[in-house]
């Protein structure tokens, strides 16, 4: 086999950004050619972006993708390029990879298996291709092969598994490619980011290279492409069960070209980061892409001094720190499309102040501790900080309704009403600040609150985007302590000293989140089994009875409370602001877990708990 250079190229694409998507591909090709790369593989659906959703169902969209392919081909002289795009044949759309060799289209490889779990709904748009089938497809007046194809280059025989194809066990195309004696298998992917998922990919690529006796090259998309899913831009190369190369993930660059020699030797392997670092890196990149692609000028955050809003504030500051660190200040600001001329010797902190505006919205139920926590954190990050009191507005609303119904509201009779009006009163004024700044309002809900509806609709759920809605509170509390030390964020010291509380009841009632709900460590165990694994209440009890040191009666009540609150609050989850998919699962009905808004609420299943 000839000793040549091959490469993977990850790109940060955006649906309907036809020129930008094509330009990023062309620049990557040019860089690969300058490094004497002979075969260059781009990710799945790189021409259009994976997150094009129902645009794939139209007739014009796949047709325009082919037009973009025709523009691309002339730039592929003296190199072989594989690039993903949708292809429509009559009433069916196929997810394909076009292979171009020295400015000539050699054929299209079609994806054989569709991803239909978790965040993926590919059967809605694409039709699986049948193994071993090849047809003629007319492209610009010529017939080119389309289907289950392999190719040759300088004595190297190569083929493709497209993303989900590789995850189908004994049915995967790789076994048939091995029977054809391919030397290299490329896997162009659009595989969503989740913390620690890179370990699964590494194991798959190493296994594949061993099982198929071939080099195995994996190439993923990059960035927050279209709002929710984040792609980490991972590129891997393995042979004989050994990982030979791995790039650094979650880059702020528009593209990366990662070059390999076809030699069985270690080349360049970036380390796999701990979960806490992955959370920072993915969230920072997702916020950066969302900000620039939405053409907004910054973020606004209602900073309570508690765990959730403080986490988000730090993530925005990390977006600035990491973006400047990788791109440089000038390029970072240019990509955001804002004007910024530093006036101090700390441009990073100064830029945080330009991009992040915070406000502490206190009431008579707020404590001095949370005010100090919010103020200290904002100042340590460099964020703008405002504070005001909303008691007058709350009093006005309360007085009006008391006059209307002819009685006073009391905490004994109207607890939820009196809590919710405070949260909702904070919403209009913080939205005003966001509008004034042409900024995105950041919602502070987390996944644990989403599970049980522990959030006020049109109050603390208000926002343009909800960055941590897919992350559980137990992790957030752990991460904040980690971040104070590992990210050198001393402003988190006050935050980490507080017990999580909504501060919506009078202070003498000593409200805490876990007193209202249950320990967050228990919620995360119940949701893991109920939502991720889709287990019944009885199954969950039998499992957690062995895993948790709780009395049976207490555990049963926690499980009942979880399922009752889950069922009752689906309507809230339907209305949460868009969130990033960051963990192995989430509760967003638009991306991961669909549940009926109206249901019987597990009544029979929960009654069965009392019978054992």
Cα–Cα distance, 372 to 220 (Å, whole number):
43
Angle between helices 275-293 and 329-336 (to 10 degrees): 50
Q: Any alpha helices (H) in 532-578, and if so which ranges? A: 537-547, 552-568, 570-575
Helix (H, G, I), strand (E, B), or coil: what is residue 283? helix
Among residues 391, 364, 307, which one has the least CA distance to residue 508? 364
Residues 6+ apart with CB under 8 A from 119: 192, 228, 229, 581, 591, 592
Cβ–Cβ under 8 Å, residues 230 and 253: no
Cβ–Cβ under 8 Å, residues 308 and 445: yes
Cα–Cα distance, 372 to 366 (Å, whole number):
11
Q: Give the tens place of pLDDT for each residue, 92-125.
A: 999 999 999 999 999 999 999 999 988 999 999 9
pLDDT of residue 543: 97
Residues 6+ apart with CB under 8 A from 516: 454, 502
For the sheet with 215-220, list strands across it: 151-153, 156-160, 184-189, 215-220, 235-239, 242-246, 268-269
Rounded to an integer, what is the distance from CA 167 to the centroid of its chain? Answer: 20
Cα–Cα distance, 161 to 177 (Å, whole number):
9
Cα–Cα distance, 563 to 573 (Å, whole number):
14
Cα–Cα distance, 30 to 37 (Å, whole number):
10
Q: Give the tens place of pLDDT for each residue, 502-561.
A: 666 676 656 676 788 899 999 999 999 999 999 999 999 999 999 999 999 999 999 999
Residues 6+ apart with CB under 8 A from 481: 492, 496
Cβ–Cβ under 8 Å, residues 360 and 387: yes
pLDDT of residue 450: 92
Cα–Cα distance, 158 to 182 (Å, whole number):
5
Q: Give the tens place of pLDDT for each residue, 159-202.
A: 999 999 999 999 999 999 999 999 999 999 999 999 999 999 99
Homologous superfamily, domain 277-609:
HUPs (3.40.50.620)
Cβ–Cβ under 8 Å, residues 97 and 83: yes
Cβ–Cβ under 8 Å, residues 305 and 435: no
Cα–Cα distance, 28 to 190 (Å, whole number):
18
Average pLDDT, the chain: 95
Longest pairwise C-alpha distance within the chain: 88
pLDDT of residue 539: 97
Domain ranges of the chain: 5-272, 277-609
pLDDT of residue 502: 63
Buried b (16+ CB within 10 A) or exposed e, 303-314: bbbbbbbbbbbb
pLDDT of residue 1: 63
Residues 6+ apart with CB under 8 A from 169: none
pLDDT of residue 326: 98
Buried b (16+ CB within 10 A) or exposed e, 254-289: bbbbbbbebeeeeeeeeeebeebbbbbbbbbbbbbb
The per-residue DSSP string of 129-143 comes to PPTT-EEEEEETTEE
Among residues 462, 482, 450, which one has the least CA distance to residue 585? 450
Homologous superfamily, domain 5-272:
Carbon-nitrogen hydrolase (3.60.110.10)
pLDDT of residue 3: 79
75 phi and psi angles, rounded to 5 deg:
-85, 0
pLDDT of residue 62: 98
**Which mean pLDDT values do the consecutive 10-residue runs of the chain (612 residues) have?**
88 98 98 98 98 96 98 98 98 98 98 92 96 97 97 96 96 97 98 96 98 98 96 98 97 97 90 97 98 98 96 98 98 96 95 98 92 97 98 97 97 92 95 97 94 91 95 96 97 90 65 79 95 96 96 96 96 95 93 93 95 88
Among residues 434, 469, 433, which one has the least CA distance to residue 592? 469
Among residues 303, 321, 323, which one has the least CA distance to residue 313? 303
What are the C-alpha distances in Å from 246 to residues 11, 44, 212, 344, 610? Answer: 16, 18, 20, 38, 53
Q: Any alpha helices (H) in 437-519, and if so which ranges? A: 447-452, 473-486, 492-496, 513-516
pLDDT of residue 510: 60
93 phi and psi angles, rounded to 5 deg:
-115, 135
Q: Taking the alpha carbons of 64, 65, 68, 69 in that order, is the dihedral positive or negative?
A: negative
């Amino acid at each position: 086999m000839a000793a040549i250079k091959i490469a993977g190229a990850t790109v940060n694409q955006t649906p309907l950004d036809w020129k930008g998507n094509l330009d990023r591909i062309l620049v990557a090709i040019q860089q690969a050619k300058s490094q004497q790369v002979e075969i260059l593989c781009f990710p799945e659906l790189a021409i259009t972006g994976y997150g094009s959703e129902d645009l794939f169902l139209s007739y014009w969209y796949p047709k325009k993708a082919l037009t973009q392919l025709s523009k691309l081909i002339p730039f592929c002289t003296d190199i072989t390029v594989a690039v993903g795009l949708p292809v429509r044949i009559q009433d069916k759309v196929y997810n394909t990879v076009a292979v171009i060799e020295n400015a000539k289209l050699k054929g299209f490889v079609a994806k054989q298996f569709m991803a239909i779990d978790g965040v993926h709904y590919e059967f809605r748009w694409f039709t699986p291709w049948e193994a071993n089938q090849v047809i003629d497809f007319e492209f610009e007046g010529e017939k080119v092969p389309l289907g289950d194809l392999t190719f040759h280059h300088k004595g190297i025989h190569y083929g493709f598994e497209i993303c989900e194809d590789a995850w189908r066990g004994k049915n995967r195309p790789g076994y048939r490619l091995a029977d054809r004696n391919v030397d290299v298998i490329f896997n162009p992917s659009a595989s969503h980011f989740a913390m620690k998922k890179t370990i699964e990919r590494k194991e798959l690529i190493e296994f594949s290279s061993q099982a198929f006796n071939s080099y195995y090259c994996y190439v993923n998309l990059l960035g927050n492409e279209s709002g929710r899913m984040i792609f980490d831009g991972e590129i891997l190369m393995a042979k004989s069960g050994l990982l030979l190369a791995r790039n650094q993930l979650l880059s702020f660059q528009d593209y990366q070209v990662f070059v390999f020699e076809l030699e069985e030797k270690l080349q360049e392997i970036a380390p796999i980061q701990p979960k806490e670092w992955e959370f920072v890196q993915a969230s920072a990149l997702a916020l950066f892409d969302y900000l620039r692609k939405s053409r907004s000028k910054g973020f606004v955050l209602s900073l309570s001094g508690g765990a959730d809003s403080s986490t988000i504030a730090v993530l925005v500051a990390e977006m600035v720190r990491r973006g400047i660190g990788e791109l440089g200040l000038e390029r970072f600001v240019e990509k955001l499309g804002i004007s910024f001329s530093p006036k101090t010797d700390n441009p990073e902190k100064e830029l945080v102040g330009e991009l992040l505006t915070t406000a502490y919205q206190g009431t008579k139920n707020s404590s001095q501790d949370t005010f100090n926590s919010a103020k200290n954190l904002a100042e340590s990050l460099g964020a703008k900080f405002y504070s005001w009191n909303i008691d007058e507005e709350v009093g006005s609303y309360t007085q009006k309704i008391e006059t209307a119904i002819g009685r006073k509201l009391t905490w004994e009779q109207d607890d939820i009403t009196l809590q919710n009006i405070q949260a909702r009163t904070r919403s209009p004024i913080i939205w005003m600040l966001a509008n004034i700044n042409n900024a995105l309002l950041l919602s502070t809900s987390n996944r644990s609150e989403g599970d049980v509806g522990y959030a006020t609709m049109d109050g603390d759920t208000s926002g343009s985007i909800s960055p941590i809605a897919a992350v559980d509170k137990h992790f957030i509390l752990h991460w904040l302590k980690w971040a104070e030390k590992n990210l050198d964020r001393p402003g988190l010291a006050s935050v980490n000293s507080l017990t999580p509380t909504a501060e919506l009841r009078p202070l003498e009632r000593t409200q805490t989140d876990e007193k209202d709900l249950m320990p967050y460590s228990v919620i995360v165990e119940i949701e893991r089994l109920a939502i991720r694994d889709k287990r019944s209440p009885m199954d969950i009890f039998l499992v957690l009875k062995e895993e948790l040191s709780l009395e049976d009666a207490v555990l049963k009540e926690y499980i009942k409370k979880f399922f009752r609150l889950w069922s009752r609050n689906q309507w809230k989850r339907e209305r949460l602001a868009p969130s990033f998919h960051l963990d192995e699962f989430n509760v967003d009905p638009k991306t991961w877990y669909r549940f009926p808004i109206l249901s019987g609420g597990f009544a029979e299943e929960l009654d069965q708990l009392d019978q054992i």
